Structure 1
Amino acid sequence: MPDFIVTQKEKEFKILQLTDTQIIDATQARYAGRLRAEEIERWQPENMQTELFDDMDKLVAENRPDLILVTGDIVYGEFDDKGTSLKAFIEKMESYQIPWAPVWGNHDNETVLGVDWQCKQLIAAKYCLFEKGNTVGCCNYIVGIKNAEGELVRLVYMLDTNGCYNASEASLKDGVRRAVGVVPQQLEWMRSSYAEICKEYEKEVPCFVAFHIEVLDHLELMERKGYYNSKNFEKYDIGDGGQDFGDIHETFNAGEEPISVLPTFKELRVDGAFFGHSHVNNASVFEDGIRWTWGLKTGKYDYHETEKLGGTLITLSKDGKEFVVVHKQTSKTE
C-alpha cells in the first residue's frame, strides 16, 4: 500500500516541483566571515518573503497544482540551528492547502536540532505527505495517485539520495549518511514495495521518482548525448522546443561510489525522474522511456542565475500514462 494517496479530479493532474529553496538566515550564521556583507544584509529573516515566498506564491497561484514536490535543500541547515526557517517554510506550504511531499537534500540536516526533529515538523503538518521510511536514509516513502473512480494510476517514489557531508552529530545519530548516493537497500525497498503494491491492486502502474542529488545513470546519459563532459566541462545550452531542453551551466557528479539505479527504475516502470541540487542546471532529457529533469531552482537564496528561477510543472493525463514537463520562470530581475 502506498504511504499516501492523492485523488485526481476529472481533469489533468498537475504536479509542481520546487527545489533548492535553501533558506539562509544570516542571523544564525555559526562562523564570522561565513557570509559577505551584502549577503548578511540580504538574507535577514524578514526578507524571506521577497527572497522566496513571493515566487512560491506566484507559482502556486498561476499553476494551481494538485500536488507539490519539494526535491531537497529546503533550508541551509547550517543557518537554521533554531529551526525557524524550516518552520516558516512549512507554514507557507500549509497556507496553500495543497498536498505537498518533500525530500531532504545535502544541506537540510546540518542543523544541530537533528533530522528526527525536522521529520517531526513535517509529519505534524496537515497537508504534508512525509515519512522517514524504513530503509537507509531519512525520506523514503511512496505517494499514490488515484483517478476520480478510485483506481490507482501512478506512484511517486520519494527517495533519499543522502550526502549530507556536514551533517550535525544529532542528524548522524538519527540516521543521516554523509556519503552521497542511493544504496542497494533502498533499491531493494523500491522493488519489494512495488511488487507488493502491484499485487494488492492486481496491476502494474507507471512511476515517478523524486530525489535531490543526480544519480549515475543520469550522468552517463548526459555524457552519452554530448551535453556534458566531466573531464572538460563547458556550459551547454540545449535550447527549447525539442524533446530535450534546458541548460547545463555547472559541473555535477553522482558521488564517490555511485551505483546504477536504472535496472530498478525499469522494473518499476519509471518514466520520469525529478531532482535538483545543481542550482544552474535545468535540463530535461529523454531516453529509452525515461525523462530525467532538473527542476528549476526556486527562490533567490544561495547561488543562482537570475533569469532561471521558478519551478517545474508536470502535467499528468487523466489516465496517468502520459505527462508533459515545462519550466515555469518567475523573477527575471533581481
Structure 2
Amino acid sequence: MSDPIQLGLVGLGTIARNQHLPALEEVPELRLAAIASRNATLDDLPSYHDIDAMLAGEAGLGAISLCTPPQGRFAQAVAAIRAGRHVMLEKPPGTGVSEVQALARLAEEKGVTLFATWHSREAAAVELARALLSDVAIRRVEITWKEDVRHWHPGQEWIWEPGGLGVFDPGINALSVLTRILRDPVRLERAELEIPSNKQAPIAAQLAMETASGAPIAAEFDWRQTGPQTWDIRVETEGPEVLLREGGARLYVDGQERIAAEDREYRRLYARFAELIGAGRSDVDLAPLQLVADAFLLGAQRAVEPFHE
C-alpha cells in the first residue's frame, strides 16, 4: 500500500469532534496530520491559528478538510487549492452557488480534487432506496424534517446570519437525499419561509417542488420540534411505497423494515475523498444548494415570534 495522504483539518467544533475525527481514524488512506482552529488544539498534533499558518508550516499536507461554518470558507478553500492541496468541503459547500462554482473552476485549473460533501447521502439506506426507485413512476414525495435547534446548535449565532441558512442547515440534508434517490431533476415551484423577527434566517420553511415528470414533492422543515426528532422522506410510487426514516438510516418498503444501520456517513465520505484523489477527479453536485437558493429567491417571507436560546 502507498503511504496515507497527510490531511489538515480546519475547524475543531462539535461536528469535527463528533464526526470528522472518529471517521478519519477508520480510513487508512488518510492520516490526520495537523489542525487549524482559532480556539482549540489536539494533543500530539501540530496546531495552527488559521489555514494560512497551517499551509505555511506543513509542507507535507496533501489534502485539507474544511469543517468551519460556510461564511468565510470560500477564502479558506481558495488558499488551499492555490497551494495545490485537495479540498473536502463540509455541507453546505458554501454560502451560495456561484462561489462553489468558482472553487470548482479553480480546482480544475490547479489539477486538484474538490469534494463538496453531502453526508446524508451516505446514510445506510440511501443507495438501496435509489435502486428501488430507479425504474418505477413516482406519484408523490413527502418530506418531514423537524428537529430542535437548541439541541443541535446551542449558542451558534452563525446559523442565523446571512449564509448560515437557518432551518435549511438541516433541511439541505433532506434535499441532498431527495436529489440522490430520484432519477428526475427536481425544481422548486414555491416556498414559504418563517423568519423570527430578531433573526435573518428562517426557523421553518414549507417547499412545494416537482419532478421533471410532474410528480409533486412537499417538504416541511421546522427547527422548533422538541422531544423525538423527525427526519423522514416518504415516496409513493406506482409500485412499492419507499420510506426513509432517521435521515436515511432506516428503510421501509411497503411498511416492512429492510435496513436499520448505524451511522457511518463520515467514514464513507472520507473514503470517497481518498478515492477521488486517487482517481484525479472532483465531485461537486450543487443540486441541493441550488434548491435552497431558489427557496430564498422564490420564498414568501413571514415574520414569526422572536427566537431566544
Is the pair's TM-score, using the shorter chain for normalization, greater than 0.5? no
Mark the structure with the bigger radius of gyration. 2
TM-score by length of 1: 0.29
Point out the structure with the larger strand share.
Answer: 2
Point out the structure with the larger helix share.
Answer: 2
